[in-house]
Structure 1
């Protein structure tokens, strides 16, 4: 390191000069001050990386001056200079925020080491703050792209529940952004300074999932060290359990105990440990059906199903596809250093018509692949889709096309009639029983349309 700015405060001109010369020889930029007033003036004019201050100033208290510096410049490390007889005071200064102390007279090697370590701490602190600010920015709501009314309603709901500690269940097909919603809840909550820990329960073998969640004691299965589970790692923050519906019945029982009692018991252990975490779960399967089938505990379902959030698949919010595509294009071009201006109209039209079975994740992957492989300044249809994909999604099966038409027809009918079945049957010139049959077939709730709202999917879980 060289060129870092260091402020040295001492009322002994000889010591000031010695330190100034040594630091300058090591490549540092040095400003000296003989008292608090000169130090404050220097701090207001220059951004320092380190302050070195003598504990015993003739006309003022070095600890009080240090406390004032730390109060207004909390990220600048402070090294205390002290005589052998004042070590207790130096220790007190460290308790009040000093980084370290060094006794006079000091060796050049000791002074150099203290400075290097303090500067390293300063840069690590700055890097952590930078990463945190990037992370906070990444998880602000404005980075969840979508003008679809249902997505806006989801963000409104997330905004309301973020500051609470309620358990949240996020439902949606794979690739719809369930973890993104969970992170938005965490990073807009009072727990944002604590960890966000995520695990996909469906990808961890059943026999090791319990240890991953709750840890194990030393000696369990000949383990030489104890293992901290994710609930302990997330203490104070949030744990996100994806694919909650895949966990075994025995683990469901233990998870219910954790949620009810707020304590965990490591595998192989006998002592319970308190944990303070917010729990967010997610599933891409019909949890109510799992309860009805007896594969998921009813009491656990009601425990986690406090605030459900349903994310619509991308094919049901097609107006968002061009927005998301442009968002991914901008981000990947910046990372990959590509100068691509956009998409051809035909490419946009094809993306809107495509069903996106992998949802937003699939769209993101296709845009990234197109940017990597193209040598043009505009993305065309063939850059995003293979001929097989185009053919497959241009010609759906008769059954799929019929069901899509039926669903869109009944949804539009309910919107126009505001959920009134009698009005809907008259408009469609069909019997009420026929309308009810279609409503049941597509798991729609007429109540969601009574105010003209488009909440077609808030009454169902994704399968």
Structure 2
């Protein structure tokens, strides 16, 4: 049977996890300090280690480092009560297999353990697997507490250990360039980060910007000019709005990715590319490929690792901390002392649809801080959110009510729905509108997991999330 070592200073958590995991068929040992846990692992290595970050005698990251020195392929699932991005990225980059927040959701933990054991089983079949050592690093300012953002933080930590291409997708204003900068900072912080907006430069100039040109290659080329790929050295070239690049340039970019070299405009010498290439778009590249507007071979080259940033309207729980963070930043820039927004304004923010996402939120706050007469921003400080926006909010609220009412709408006029029909529709609605796993959905529905499984089978509902 697989063995698990739980290292946590909270005795009740150790006992609870020990009872649960033993019932699941695992051999479990526990330790209340980092030193005790390390000693137990050295004496008898466990298949999976569940490690708390905050320990009384030593930092959890130090324990993680020591465990990896003992066995570089050890599967460590880190747990913590702190929901900050930097800790999450540190854990993943330091070599943790997964990262779970307290209070521990047993369904999430069970899924992580099974993934760790499966990964370990596959690794035993592969010889020579190398893991890059952890490094110290700093991260950018990304606010996010939901499941989607936590997964993005994990992905950032993982891709920061390599130099593979990354495709960042999301609506305008969601922070695609910020994500790219964080990855760059965690990979090659001392090298240049060069951003190029592909939609802002005409094709002929864009080619020269990317690849450079030789003297006399075209009218006005009075001297050799180095392109962005050369200037970036071993850093990052970030191609924003890659969907706007012409088919002709797409072919040349594909060659760069395949051969890691290029020729300057008007030149014959091969120039080696050492920079990492990251791209971003607010369009669906897969659809563009199907429509013949984007090269499929380039798409697959760029889409090795994809990060999809959710729009602000789907992560409303992040709006209050985003406002706190942005106001702190704005106060420093404008030498203001704004302490927050009124309850009325916060309610409007929480209901607003945010078509411009975080960029729109920041711009609204900046303008409000400039004209504000008090330390709390009220409705009068946001004239932009006027009647049109209020009407839009009310329209959205009515749409929500209409959608909820649709659950009880009979399929035939004059016919009432059965309880089973209402139940099926509601379960489908909860699954569709949330990103929660089975355990969390059971909490929303107020039913046990076995009951939920039976209802999925009863109504023939497909559920792919664990």
Runs of 4+ in 1 over 3 A off after TM superposition: 397-410, 412-420, 423-432
Aligned to 1:153: 151
Name the CA distance, whole Å, in 1 between partners of 2:403 and 2:232: 43
User: Is the CA contact (8 Å cut-off) linking 2:174 and 2:310 kept in structure 1?
Assistant: yes
In structure 2, the CA distance between the partners of 1:169 and 1:402, relative to structure 1 (3 Å rule), is farther
Q: Which of the residues 319, 323, 329 maps onto 2:321?
A: 323
Q: Which of the residues 211, 217, 220 maps onto 1:220?
A: 217
Aligned to 2:197: 200
In structure 2, the CA distance between the partners of 1:344 and 1:304, relative to structure 1 (3 Å rule), is same
Name the CA distance, whole Å, in 2 between partners of 1:390 and 1:283: 27
Residues 326-346 of structure 1: CA deviation (Å, up to 9, x unaligned): 111111112211122211111
Tell me how far 1:395 sits from its aligned partner.
Answer: 2.2
In structure 2, the CA distance between the partners of 1:417 and 1:397, relative to structure 1 (3 Å rule), is same
What secondary structure does 1:279 align onto? strand
Name the CA distance, whole Å, in 2 between partners of 1:198 and 1:234: 10
Gaps of 5+ in 1: 1-135, 437-445, 452-463
In structure 2, the CA distance between the partners of 1:236 and 1:428, relative to structure 1 (3 Å rule), is closer
What secondary structure does 2:310 align onto? coil
User: Is the CA contact (8 Å cut-off) linking 1:414 and 1:424 kept in structure 2?
Assistant: no
What secondary structure does 1:188 align onto? helix
Q: Normalising by structure 2, report the TM-score.
A: 0.59
Matched ranges for 1:10-409 at <5 A: 140-141=139-140, 143-189=141-187, 191-222=188-219, 223-384=221-382, 385-396=384-395, 401=400, 409=430
Name the CA distance, whole Å, in 1 between partners of 2:241 and 2:452: 38
What secondary structure does 2:395 align onto? coil
Aligned to 1:411: 432
Matched length? 299
CA RMSD across the alignment: 3.0
Name the CA distance, whole Å, in 1 between partners of 2:279 and 2:166: 6
What secondary structure does 2:167 align onto? strand
Gaps of 5+ in 2: 1-135, 407-427, 443-450
Tell me how far 1:427 sits from its aligned partner.
Answer: 5.5
In structure 2, the CA distance between the partners of 1:389 and 1:328, relative to structure 1 (3 Å rule), is farther
Residues 147-199 of structure 1: CA deviation (Å, up to 9, x unaligned): 1221111111101111201111101000000000000000011x211100001
Name the CA distance, whole Å, in 1 between partners of 2:184 and 2:192: 9
User: Is the CA contact (8 Å cut-off) linking 1:347 and 1:381 kept in structure 2?
Assistant: yes
Tell me how far 1:253 sits from its aligned partner.
Answer: 0.7
Residues 241-287 of structure 1: CA deviation (Å, up to 9, x unaligned): 11111111111111010011111111121222112010111111111
User: Is the CA contact (8 Å cut-off) linking 1:413 and 1:424 kept in structure 2?
Assistant: no
Name the CA distance, whole Å, in 1 between partners of 2:287 and 2:143: 31
Name the CA distance, whole Å, in 1 between partners of 2:437 and 2:453: 12
More deviation, 216-225/408-417: 408-417
Residues 331-362 of structure 1: CA deviation (Å, up to 9, x unaligned): 11122111222111111111111111000110
Name the CA distance, whole Å, in 2 between partners of 1:428 and 1:389: 42
User: Is the CA contact (8 Å cut-off) linking 1:244 and 1:281 kept in structure 2?
Assistant: yes
Name the CA distance, whole Å, in 2 between partners of 1:417 and 1:321: 26
Name the CA distance, whole Å, in 1 between partners of 2:397 and 2:322: 30
What secondary structure does 1:163 align onto? coil
Tell me how far 1:207 sits from its aligned partner.
Answer: 2.2
Tell me how far 1:289 sits from its aligned partner.
Answer: 0.6
Name the CA distance, whole Å, in 2 between partners of 1:399 and 1:205: 44
Tell me how far 1:382 sits from its aligned partner.
Answer: 2.9
User: Is the CA contact (8 Å cut-off) linking 1:215 and 1:229 kept in structure 2?
Assistant: yes
In structure 2, the CA distance between the partners of 1:426 and 1:403, relative to structure 1 (3 Å rule), is farther
User: Is the CA contact (8 Å cut-off) linking 1:425 and 1:431 kept in structure 2?
Assistant: no
Residues 25-75 of structure 1: CA deviation (Å, up to 9, x unaligned): xxxxxxxxxxxxxxxxxxxxxxxxxxxxxxxxxxxxxxxxxxxxxxxxxxx
Larger fraction in helix: 1
What secondary structure does 1:166 align onto? coil
Name the CA distance, whole Å, in 2 between partners of 1:204 and 1:298: 23
User: Is the CA contact (8 Å cut-off) linking 1:343 and 1:378 kept in structure 2?
Assistant: yes
In structure 2, the CA distance between the partners of 1:414 and 1:147, relative to structure 1 (3 Å rule), is closer
